Structure formats: C-alpha cells, structure tokens
C-alpha cells in the first residue's frame, strides 16, 4: 500500500522536508510523529515568509486615517497582529479596527511618552504623519521623533510613508520636510526599513474643494498628466512591505496606479456618476491666497510632476493597482 506524499514543516523557519511513505517506512512515520510538536500547519513554501511575519506585532500610526487605516485593515486580513495607534480610541474608525482584531492603543505623535508606550515590544512600525493637520514643521518633528523612539525601543522593521518625489528636491515645503524625515530613518540604521512614496490620492478628486457640483476644480493645466494612487493600494503595498520585509529591506519606492489629466478625470466621473462633470481650471493666485505650499505643489505638477514607474513597480512586487476608472466604479456613487 502506498501513501500519498505530503509536505511537513519540521521547524518554524526551517526548510520543508518532502516525505514519501510506504508501509515499510515505519521509521519515517515515527520521525514525522516526533516532529508534530513543531508543526503548525501544512503549508506551501510560498506562504512561509508571510506566516513568519504574521507572528510579529506591527504598530500602525494614523490608524484611523486614510493611509494608516488602509494598511491596518490589509495587515489584519493577512493575519498580522496589529496595534493601532490613535488619539481617538472611541472613534468609529478605532471601533471598526477593534472589531477586525486590532489592539487599540492611545498615542499622540506630539507626546513622546505615549508613543514610547505604544511602541513597546513592537517588531514593526508603519509611520505616517499628516502635514495638513500638523503643519510642515510639526510634521517633520513628529516623523523624526517616532523614528528615533522606534530605534531606541528595538523595532526591527520600520516602514515610513513619505510622498512621491520627496527625494528630488522639489522645493515644495510638505515634500521637502518628508525628505528630511527620510534622511533620519536612513541614518538610524534600523535592521530593516522601507520608504514608500505614494503620489496624489484618487480620493482627493471627491473632496469638497475639488468636486463642486458639476465642476471638477483644480489649478492645473488641462494637459497636465497627474499620477494618482488609490488609498487602498497604499494599504496593499504597505502590507507587502511587512510580509516581505527581508526582500524589500532598504527599498525606496515611488508608486502610482494611473496618470490622468483633469479633463480625463472629469470624463470618468461623468461616466460613473451618470451626470455631466466638467473640468474648470482655477487661477493659481486663488490657491496661493489660501496656501503658498499648495500653490507651489500645483505649479510643480504642471512643470515637473511625479515620476513613479507605474507598470514597473507592479511587475516587480506582484501587485495590481487600480486605474482611476476602476477606482471610480468601485467607490463613487451615482
């Protein structure tokens, strides 16, 4: 009588043994039984790295925000232990993550003590700050503070969410401050780190300052191709940076899912929403009156722009990002 071959993991993190049993192989069967205490499950080799990462706690900052929330949800879907840091533990976002299995911890990026407490015992960190909320100077302080505290606490894998082209000396205040945070992350010499640089969020097209009635408003030239990314795809690549920590160690990745002009974006929104949406170019001076930082960014979009390798990143890391039309069909209501 012949038994079917099977894959058995002898010890976590060790190579798999391929055992072919026959009635005469009593010794082999005894050996398999003796290893049962070490066996977690019968798995394919392809899933081994992800399983090993799942045994380690990841602290996600900004967990109730767009980026942090997307990363936390994707990590939880993949079986990671997630510690979600927020200033608002009673918020709907925090409650949702708690129901999904995250441990909610109270932490404020301006409060070193609370951040240190949240970091205790964490293997990995997803670090993101919000310049629109904190301001350029404070965001930089927050980014450097948590990176230094994480290194002091012995964090092994640090993933910093920066912004597309931060390293290119753009002259945009809320890009350049992130470049200086990147410098700090590199200088701290974590055992392992990844810097991710997402571009313009597709979700911004639906913001009140952008979509106003039947007009898509932006202070951009109608011919400017703007690279964009869906927030859920930040979650996708962010989670991968923990699943494949060893493979992605030291990588600095600009990434986008599409490159679209504002008239093209308006046409897609028209199609999905079932009503005419037209692009209306705003005067840049009107934007500058509200925010010099934003005006500088928009002028840079027109003159230079992001340069993520849209297809190359997806091929290299085996991911598939949403194009704008697919994102709109999935997220925009009629």
pLDDT digits (tens, 9 = 90+) for 243-301: 999 999 999 999 999 999 999 999 999 999 999 999 999 999 999 999 999 999 999 99
Alpha carbons 203 and 228: distance in angstroms, whole number: 9
| DSSP state for residue 1 in the 8-state scheme | -
Query: 3-state SS string over 169-233?
Result: CCCCHHHHHHHHHHHHHHHCCCCEEEEEEECEEHHHHHCCCCEECCEEEECCCCCCCEEEECHHH
Shortest CA distance to 310 belongs to which of 246, 237, 238? 237
Q: What is the pTM of this model?
A: 0.83
- Tens digits of residue pLDDT in 111-140: 999 999 999 999 999 999 988 788 999 999
> Strand (E) positions, the chain?
6-9, 16-19, 57-60, 81-86, 103-106, 124-127, 157-161, 192-198, 200-201, 211-212, 215-218, 226-229, 252-255, 258-260, 278-281
Which mean pLDDT values do the consecutive 10-residue runs of the chain (334 residues) have?
29 29 37 36 34 73 95 97 95 96 96 96 96 89 98 98 98 98 98 98 97 97 98 98 98 98 98 97 97 98 98 98 98 89
Measured between alpha carbons, how far is residue 37 from residues 12, 31, 120, 277 in Å? 11, 12, 30, 63
Q: Please tell me the CATH superfamily of domain 49-331, with its number.
A: NAD(P)-binding Rossmann-like Domain (3.40.50.720)
Domain ranges of the chain: 6-43, 49-331
């Amino acid at each position: 009588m012949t038994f079917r071959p099977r894959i058995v993991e002898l010890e976590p993190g060790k190579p798999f043994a391929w055992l072919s049993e026959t009635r005469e192989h009593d010794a082999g069967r005894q050996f398999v039984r003796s290893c049962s205490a070490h066996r977690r499950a019968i798995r394919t080799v392809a899933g081994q790295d992800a399983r090993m990462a799942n045994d380690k706690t990841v602290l996600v900052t900004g967990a109730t925000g767009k980026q942090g929330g997307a990363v936390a949800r994707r990590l939880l879907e993949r079986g990671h232990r997630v510690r979600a840091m927020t200033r608002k533990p009673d918020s709907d976002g925090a409650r949702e993550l708690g129901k999904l299995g995250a441990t909610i911890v109270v932490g404020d990026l301006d409060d070193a003590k609370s951040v240190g407490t949240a970091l205790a015992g964490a293997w990995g960190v997803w670090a993101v700050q919000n310049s629109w909320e904190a301001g350029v100077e404070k965001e930089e302080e927050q980014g450097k503070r948590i990176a230094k505290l994480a290194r002091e606490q012995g964090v092994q894998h640090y993933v910093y969410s920066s912004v597309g082209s931060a390293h290119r000396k753009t002259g945009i205040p809320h890009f350049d401050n992130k470049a200086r945070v990147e410098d700090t992350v590199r200088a701290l010499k974590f055992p392992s780190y990844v810097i991710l640089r997402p571009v313009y969020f597709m979700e911004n097209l639906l913001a009140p300052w952008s979509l106003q009635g039947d007009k898509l408003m932006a202070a951009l030239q109608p011919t400017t191709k703007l690279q964009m990314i869906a927030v859920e795809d930040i979650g996708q690549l962010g989670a991968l940076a923990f699943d494949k920590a060893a493979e992605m160690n030291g990588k600095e990745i600009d990434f986008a899912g599409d490159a679209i002009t504002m008239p093209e974006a308006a046409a897609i929104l028209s199609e999905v929403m079932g009503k005419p949406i037209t692009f209306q170019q705003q005067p840049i001076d009107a934007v500058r009156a509200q925010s010099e930082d934003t005006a500088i960014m928009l002028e840079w979009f027109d003159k230079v722009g992001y340069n993520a390798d849209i297809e190359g990143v997806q091929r290299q890391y085996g991911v598939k990002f949403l194009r704008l039309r697919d994102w709109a069909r999935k997220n925009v209501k009629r």
